[in-house]
Amino acid sequence: MAEIETSLLGDPEKENAREEKEEEEDLGGTRLEAVTVEEAQLPISVEDQRWKEYFETLSNKRRASFRCAVSQGLRSDVLEGGTAGSSVGVVGGSAGVGDRCLLSVARETLPRDSERRWFLHVYSGCPPPLLMPSISLAQVVVFVVYGLALGTWLLPTYDADFMNGSLLYSPPRRHEAWRFLSYALTHAGAEQLGLALLAQLSVGLPLEMAHGSLRIGAVYMAGVLAGSLLGSVADRRAPLVGSSGGVYALLSAHLANIAMNWSRMKGSFRVLRMAFLLLLMSAELGRAVWLRLSPRAAPAQPSFVPHLAGVWVGLTLGLAVLRCYEQRLRDQCCWRVASLAYAASVLLAVACNVAMGDPAGADRPPPAAAEAAPAGGH
C-alpha cells in the first residue's frame, strides 16, 4: 500500500523539499521553477513547460526593460499572441494603414514570431527613424548642389571640378581624414544616387525601425569606412565616390538573415523581394565595374572596391547585429568575434596606408585643375 501511495502521490520528503524551495524563490508573487522534472519524479505538464520557457526568456541576456516587462506578465501575452497583437490593431480585420505598415516591417525584418509580436507591442515611433532619411536627404542636397554648379546630372566624375571637390576621397589627398567618410555623400551620377536612395529607404529604413538607429547606423558607417580603407589599399590610384559601402553592408546583412531564416520569414513576397535586391546589387556593381574599367577612364574613375568591402561587413558585423534583436551585443559571442575582426582589419588598413605612403601612380588633379596648380606640378 505504501508503494502505491508513493507512486501516486510521490515521495513526501521530496514534495516537502520542493515546497520549501518554491517558497524561498518566490519573488514578488512570481513563481520560478525550482525543481527539475527528474527531481520531482512527475510527468512534465503544459504549465511546467510554460514556466520553463518563462525562466529561459528571463535569462536570455535581454535588456533591463525587457526583463521587467516579462516579470509583469507582458512577455507571456506576446508569446501567445494576446494583448500585444491586439494593442496595435493587427489582430482582426480592423487594422489601420499604420498598423499594417508596422506588421509588414516586422514580417520582412524579424524571423521569429515572438520577436515580431514584441516589436509590434513596444514600437511607438518615438524617437522616429530619422537616420536613413537624413542621410538620403543630405546625399540629395549634395548631388543637387554639384549638379547645379557643374550643369550636368550624368557621370560628373569626368568633370575636373567635381573630382577635385572637398568631399570625395582622392588618393593624393588621403591625408585629409574626413574624406574616408564624407565620400559617401557624393555620387557618380543620378543613376547611382537613385539606386542608393532606393536601397536605403526600402531596406535601411525598415531595419532602422526594427533594430534602432544606433545599431543600423553603426553597420552603415562601418561599411562606409571599410570601403574607403580597403579601396585606399587595394585600388590605390582610384578615387572613391558613393555610399555603396554602407548600402551593401545593410543589403548583405539583410539578405543573409533572410536566407538563414527562410522558413521562419513571413513576408508575402520573399522570393520576389530577394530577387529584386540581388538584381539591384548586381546592377550597381556592374555599373561601378564598367565605369572603373571603361576606356574613357583617364584619369582613373571611382573604384568598385567599396562594394566588396560592404558585402564583407554585412556578412560579419551586420549579420551579428540583425541576429541579436533586443539583446545586448556585448554579451553575444558572434558580435565580439565580428567586432574584433573588423577592428583588426581597420588597424591593418591604416598601417598599410602609413607604411606605403603616397601612391606613386596616383592620378594628379585633372587638366582643368592642373592649370591652376603651381608650375612643375603633375
Give mean pLDDT, residues 174-192. 91
pLDDT tens for 150-175 read 887 776 777 777 878 889 898 888 88
pLDDT tens for 98-107 read 788 888 888 8
CB 158 within 8 A of CB 217: no
111 vs 203, which has greater pLDDT? 203
Asked, as a colleague might, if the bond just before 111 is cis with ω within 30 of 0, I would say no
Residue 42 cell numbers, joined:
512527475
* Predicted local confidence at residue 48, as pLDDT: 61
Residue 31 cell numbers, joined:
513563481
Is residue 64 scored above 60 in pLDDT?
A: no
pLDDT tens for 20-33 read 555 555 444 444 34
Nearest to 227 by CA among 347, 346, 139: 346
Q: Which of 121, 187, 211, 307 is catalytic?
A: 307
Kindly indicate the confidence band of residue 42, based on its pLDDT and cuts at 50, 70 and 90. very low
Is residue 309 scored above 80 in pLDDT?
A: yes
Kindly indicate the confidence band of residue 331, based on its pLDDT and cuts at 50, 70 and 90. confident
What is the C-alpha separation between 40 and 138, in angstroms, rounded?
Answer: 64
* Predicted local confidence at residue 101, as pLDDT: 86
Is residue 319 scored above 70 in pLDDT?
A: yes
pLDDT tens for 221-266 read 999 999 999 999 998 888 999 999 999 999 999 999 988 888 888 7
Active-site residue flag, 211? no
Is residue 37 scored above 60 in pLDDT?
A: no
* 88-92, 218-222, 352-356: which is most confident: 218-222
* Predicted local confidence at residue 12, as pLDDT: 52
Range from 78-82, 281-285, 311-315 carrying the lowest mean pLDDT? 78-82
Nearest to 170 by CA among 186, 154, 151, 155: 186
Residue 230 φ/ψ region, left for φ over 0, alpha for ψ in the -120 to 50 degree band, beta for the rest: alpha
What is the C-alpha separation between 99 and 89, in angstroms, rounded?
Answer: 6
Identify residue 289 by its one-letter amino acid code.
Answer: V
Residue percentage of the chain with pLDDT more than 90: 34
Neighbours of 202 (CB within 10 A): 16
Q: Which of 232, 244, 252, 303 is catalytic?
A: 244
Nearest to 183 by CA among 159, 161, 165, 205: 165
Is residue 369 scored above 70 in pLDDT?
A: no
* Predicted local confidence at residue 241, as pLDDT: 92
Neighbours of 70 (CB within 10 A): 20
CA-based radius of gyration for the chain: 28
* Predicted local confidence at residue 27, as pLDDT: 43
Neighbours of 110 (CB within 10 A): 26
Is residue 340 scored above 90 in pLDDT?
A: yes
Kindly indicate the confidence band of residue 5, based on its pLDDT and cuts at 50, 70 and 90. very low
The HSE-up count of residue 136 (CA atoms within 13 Å, CB side) is: 18
Dihedral (CA of 155, 238, 364, 145) sign? positive
pTM of the model: 0.72
* Predicted local confidence at residue 134, as pLDDT: 97
- Name residue 169's beta-bridge partners: 240
CB 306 within 8 A of CB 231: yes
What is the C-alpha separation between 161 and 180, in angstroms, rounded?
Answer: 19
* Predicted local confidence at residue 211, as pLDDT: 92
Is residue 85 scored above 80 in pLDDT?
A: no
Exposure string for 113-150, b = 16+ CB within 10 A, e = fewer: ebbbbbbbbeeeeeeebebbeebbeebeebbeebbeee
Active-site residue flag, 86? no
* Predicted local confidence at residue 22, as pLDDT: 56
Phi, psi (degrees; rounded to nearest 5) at 16: -65, -40
Q: What is the mean pLDDT of the chain?
A: 77
Give mean pLDDT, residues 109-123. 87
Give mean pLDDT, residues 313-336. 86
